[in-house]
């Protein structure tokens, strides 16, 4: 049984279908061979992507043991373990040993900027990074509390930082809960 949590980013909500399809289209069109997912959840999106893009080598990082277990079972059941490597680790402790053609940031929504800063140097030349939940609508529309306000304002600062840091290298897409595509 999954232990209840009050942290919004601990829930394993998969990418919305339109976001996942957009990502798969980008992976295909850019001939990506390597893909890193930060925040595996229960492996729903990665299982789907691995089944539909069989040449793709996927590394995925998840800190919650119960999610790692569920994801591993999904990868095993769908026979994609030869292409998917799951790391049970905190994204802030994990250190990539190779560049990736594509990186998805879909973990702690309160640490989006730190995750982008940490992982963007690991995007290979010509590659891209996708950041999910740039609208953060679940937080923006939830009842006002001090912690909700703090997260909301930190998120606004993150969006400002993305705009000023990446300028024309970032594009915004009105899919799912909002996504940013960075081509560093
Ligand atoms: C939105 S879910 C990921 C869903 C998944 N990408 C999919 O589409 O199926 C976010 C996940 O990030 C994990 N997470 C949050 N903070 C993390 C961290 N610092 N390191 C690794 N995983 C983290 C959570 O436990 C949760 O499972």
pLDDT tens per residue, the chain (184 residues)? 334 444 545 678 999 999 999 999 999 999 999 999 999 999 999 999 999 999 999 999 999 999 999 999 999 999 999 999 999 999 999 999 999 999 999 999 899 999 999 999 999 999 999 999 999 887 878 888 888 888 889 999 999 999 999 999 999 999 999 999 999 9
**86 belongs to a structural domain:** yes
HEC string for 84-118: EEEEECCCCCCCCCCCEEEEEECCCHHHHHHHHHH
**109 belongs to a structural domain:** yes
**71 belongs to a structural domain:** yes
When divided into structural domains, the chain yields a total of 1
Distance 84 CA to ligand 1 centre (A): 16
* Gyration radius of the chain over CA positions: 16
**24 belongs to a structural domain:** yes
Q: Three-class SS of residue 12? A: coil
- Parent domain of 15: 9-182
**1 belongs to a structural domain:** no
Decide: 38 and 96 in contact? Cβ < 8 Å.
no
List, in sequence order, the alpha helices (H) in 5-145: 17-29, 44-52, 65-77, 112-119, 137-140
What is d(CA 47, CA 77) in angstroms, rounded to the nearest whole number? Answer: 9
Residues with CB under 6 A from ligand 1: 9-10, 12-15, 37, 39-41, 44-45, 61-64, 67, 90-92, 106-108
Tokens of 152: 């909301």
Q: Nearest 5°: phi and psi at 162?
A: -60, -45
Tokens of 50: 């691995």
**Best mutation site among 62, 89, 119, 179 for ligand 1, i.e. most ligand atoms within 8 A of its Cβ?**
62
CATH number at 14 reads 3.40.50.150
**3 belongs to a structural domain:** no
pTM value is: 0.94
What is d(CA 36, CA 32) in angstroms, rounded to the nearest whole number? Answer: 11
**4 belongs to a structural domain:** no
């Amino acid at each position: 049984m999954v232990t209840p949590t009050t942290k919004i980013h601990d829930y394993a909500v998969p990418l919305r279908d339109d976001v996942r399809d957009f990502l798969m289209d980008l992976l295909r069109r850019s001939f990506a061979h390597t893909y890193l997912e930060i925040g595996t959840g229960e492996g729903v999106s990665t299982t789907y992507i691995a089944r539909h893009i069989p040449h793709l080598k996927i590394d995925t990082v998840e800190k919650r043991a119960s999610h790692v277990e569920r994801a591993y079972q999904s990868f095993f059941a769908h026979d994609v373990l030869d292409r998917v490597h799951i790391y049970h680790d905190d994204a802030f402790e994990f250190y990539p040993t190779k560049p990736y053609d594509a990186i998805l940031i879909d973990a702690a929504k309160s640490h989006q900027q730190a995750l982008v800063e940490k992982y963007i140097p690991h995007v290979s030349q010509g590659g891209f990074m996708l950041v999910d939940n740039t609208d953060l609508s679940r937080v923006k529309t939830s009842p006002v509390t001090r912690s909700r306000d703090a997260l909301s304002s930190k998120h606004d600062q993150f969006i400002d930082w993305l705009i000023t840091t990446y300028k024309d290298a970032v594009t915004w897409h009105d899919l799912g809960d909002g996504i940013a595509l960075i081509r560093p």
